A and B are shown apart, each in its own frame.
Chain A
């Protein structure tokens, strides 16, 4: 089997990999922000949000995927492999983005709260208009880096038959027996995507730091 054929075959899994990573990233970002916001005031709600974050960070992503895909199916809720993978990884991602946003909130100086309140903004408006935007800007670099991580983590979806890059690689390996070629192709595809992305994120981070002086 030619290298070109293997490359073409494996590349057909790229859209699925992107779909899983993008879906997980969006879910993780939204859920993570919600968790961070709920955690802010403290109290029972804050404690509950912190507990959710801890549990999600401690459960292996593959186990979460099995819970979503097999566990829910056993209860009669059948979710297809790709959405199941996006959901499971999204939950994992949420536990990390909650911490990015929490760190972002901590980074915003107390003087910003004072300035926002001093012009008469309510607590909610101060948060919405002044604090969250700054925390979000702080969280953007790690958020974008986590997308790169999700692209790689999407490979666990092969465990439930989602036709992403690794799964396609496994199939073509079974057909060709050319493990080295298959692995090199997968690695090259990932390098070609993640290296430019990582570089672009570093440049964006530098620009954000300059703008937020």
Chain B
């Protein structure tokens, strides 16, 4: 059944076997006058494909950025493999090495690709394996080529981002994430910046990842796609999670009015 979220959220995950989690996460950008994210709790189990759905400004991206520590929460906890990574506001500073460790295992794909324009596609994808995972130059290049092959872009390895289409850029961005062999990939509206024709090529890649049981959290407005691949759907509005449940239940029988509006347009 779908769970309508109110105040009842777990204080701690205990030994839940979850991969990644946010507990009572809140984020304010103006000294706690307003909250971009308010008391959001989300846990992700291995193999789950969680689609975050909500209107613009509902806090989806902020939640995603908190999950991989690109954004420091104002309150709450981030948990990775049941271990507390950060607990705000008490523990304001997390050791940099711990942050980097989490980020190498929690990959992120951005709405606007964010490829490094001074590097080729190969250079973009090999950067992490070479300088973070400390692979040799040859091994990093091989891993990069394998990643580019997996997204169908092996022959574009020598091209710079400026010479690629939007769909190709996003596929390179996915390859860059895959090259780090992450345990979970966060997608922040991966197709929003693409023309309609290019959306399909990116969704195909994500669907392939879903079939291979990659754990993913996807912020998306593509409801048909979410219906196709999501195992779980979370709806958000005004910085809060309003409903969270299995995809089949959420798409057929969402409990809250707002979820109905978001998922069915009524």
Instruction: Show the binding face of A for B, using Cβ within 8 Å.
Output: 109, 111-112, 114-123, 125, 129-130, 133-134, 137, 210-213
Q: Is the CB of B70 within 8 A of A114?
A: yes
Q: Is the CB of A118 within 8 A of B70?
A: yes
Q: Is the CB of B112 within 8 A of A111?
A: yes
Chain B residues numbered 107-164 whose CB sits less than 8 Å from any CB in chain A:
107-108, 110, 112, 114-118, 127-128, 131-132, 160-162
Q: Is the CB of B100 within 8 A of A122?
A: yes
The verdict on A118 contacting B107 (CB below 8 Å), with A129-B131, A211-B160, A211-B162 known, is yes
Chain B residues numbered 74-126 whose CB sits less than 8 Å from any CB in chain A:
96, 100-101, 103-104, 107-108, 110, 112, 114-118
B176 interface contact, C-beta 8 A: yes
> Interface residues of B toward A: which range?
20 to 34
Q: Is the CB of B104 within 8 A of A130?
A: no
B217 interface contact, C-beta 8 A: no
Q: Which of A118, A121, A134, A137 interacts with B108 by CB under 8 Å?
A: A118
Q: Is the CB of A134 within 8 A of B103?
A: no
Q: Which residues of A sit under 8 angstroms from B115, Cβ to Cβ? A: 115
Chain A residue nearest to B118 in the complex (CB): A133
Q: Which of B96, B117, B162 interacts with A122 by CB under 8 Å?
A: B96
Q: Is the CB of A119 within 8 A of B104?
A: yes
Q: Is the CB of A119 within 8 A of B114?
A: no
Q: Is the CB of B100 within 8 A of A120?
A: yes
* B111 nearest CB across to chain A (Å): 9
Complex-state Cα separation, A119 to B180, whole angstroms: 7
Complex-state Cα separation, A120 to B134, whole angstroms: 11
Q: Say whether chain A's binding surface is mostly helix, strand, loop, or mixed.
A: helix
Q: Is the CB of A115 within 8 A of B68?
A: no
How many residue pairs between the two chains, A and B, have CB atoms under 8 Å in the bound complex? 69
Chain A residue nearest to B71 in the complex (CB): A114
Per-residue A-contact encoding for B179-206, CB less than 8 Å = 1, 0 else: 0100000000000000000000000000
Q: Is the CB of B176 within 8 A of A119?
A: yes
Q: Is the CB of A119 within 8 A of B103?
A: yes
14 contacts between A and B (CB under 8 A): A112-B114, A114-B65, A115-B116, A118-B68, A118-B107, A121-B127, A121-B132, A125-B131, A125-B132, A130-B127, A134-B117, A211-B160, A213-B117, A213-B161
Chain A residue nearest to B123 in the complex (CB): A129
Chain B residue nearest to A116 in the complex (CB): B116
The verdict on A121 contacting B162 (CB below 8 Å), with A111-B112, A114-B110 known, is no
Complex-state Cα separation, A137 to B100, whole angstroms: 27
Q: Which residues of A sit under 8 angstroms from B162, Cβ to Cβ? A: 210-213
Q: Is the CB of B116 within 8 A of A112?
A: yes
* B158 nearest CB across to chain A (Å): 13
Q: Which residues of A sit under 8 angstroms from B101, Cβ to Cβ? A: 120
Q: Which residues of B sit under 8 angstroms from A118, Cβ to Cβ? A: 68, 70, 103, 107-108, 110
* B207 nearest CB across to chain A (Å): 23
Complex-state Cα separation, A109 to B114, whole angstroms: 9
Given A118-B103, A122-B100, 6 additional A-B pairs, CB 8 A: A118-B70, A119-B103, A119-B104, A119-B176, A120-B180, A211-B162
Q: Which of A109, A117, A134 interacts with B118 by CB under 8 Å?
A: A134
Q: Which residues of A sit under 8 angstroms from B68, Cβ to Cβ? A: 118
Chain B residue nearest to A132 in the complex (CB): B118
Complex-state Cα separation, A115 to B115, whole angstroms: 8
Chain A residue nearest to B96 in the complex (CB): A122
Complex-state Cα separation, A118 to B127, whole angstroms: 12
Complex-state Cα separation, A121 to B118, whole angstroms: 17
Q: Which residues of B sit under 8 angstroms from A121, Cβ to Cβ? A: 100, 127-128, 131-132
* B78 nearest CB across to chain A (Å): 15
Chain A residue nearest to B180 in the complex (CB): A119
Q: Which residues of B sit under 8 angstroms from A211, Cβ to Cβ? A: 117, 160, 162
Per-residue A-contact encoding for B41-73, CB less than 8 Å = 1, 0 else: 000000000000000000000000100101000
Q: Which of A119, A123, A212 interacts with B117 by CB under 8 Å?
A: A212
Q: Which residues of A sit under 8 angstroms from B161, Cβ to Cβ? A: 213
Complex-state Cα separation, A91 to B70, whole angstroms: 39
Q: Is the CB of A212 within 8 A of B118?
A: yes
